[in-house]
Structure 1
Amino acid sequence: MLDCKSLTTPAAVTTSVVPTASTYENPTHYRRIVGALQYLTIKRPDLSYSVNRLCQFMHSPTDEHWGIAKRVLRYIKGTISYGLRITPSTSTTIQAFSDSDWAGSNEQ
């Protein structure tokens, strides 16, 4: 997957997956990849939905599920610099940051 073409979304938004009876030939490989993706969701919440969907088929993945997992990997390749910055701190103060504006505030 190192030379794959990157994608801008982790899941297809226009088509739904229609599972077939074609079981993925290497379910252990699928489980390892998806398990590793679960850890990545700690710093990459944008992957949470797609990875959660993949986790629902750990017991019996199909070729279609493997295709979705590869799509997530292609998305990660194109967005490798995305993520939450987590750094150690000696302070016990909780801090949060956001880049959104409160447009509905009319308080005076």
Structure 2
Amino acid sequence: MSLPFTALADPTRRRILDLLRRRPHLVGEVAGELGLSQPAASKHLRVLREAGLVRVRREAQRRWYGIDPAPLAELDAWLSPYRRMWQESLDALERHLDEGRGTEEEP
């Protein structure tokens, strides 16, 4: 589990995943769309691939990179209890704010 988190800690790699979410891309496309050098894009894609977050499809000399959703589903499942905790806290804050607004609106 720590390898995907480590890979996702870098904002550039998160931007790459956002890009790959739309469709698979070649390294040059990733580099061009994100303003990276091709070696930098390749390095980030290698880290994402080693973390299991992207997969590579070879087509002659070309390598297409796309998202592998399985590790993201595992991350989502792991985060689920924390998401519920945050939601409960936000719900409590909303109730508190609603109660405060209610007392201010009364004459």
TM over 0.5: no
Between structures 1 and 2, the one with greater helix share: 2
- Select the structure with the greater relative contact order (CA < 8 A; seq sep ≥ 6): 1
Larger CA Rg, structure 1 vs 2: 2
Between structures 1 and 2, the one with greater strand share: 2
TM-score if structure 2 supplies the norm length? 0.31
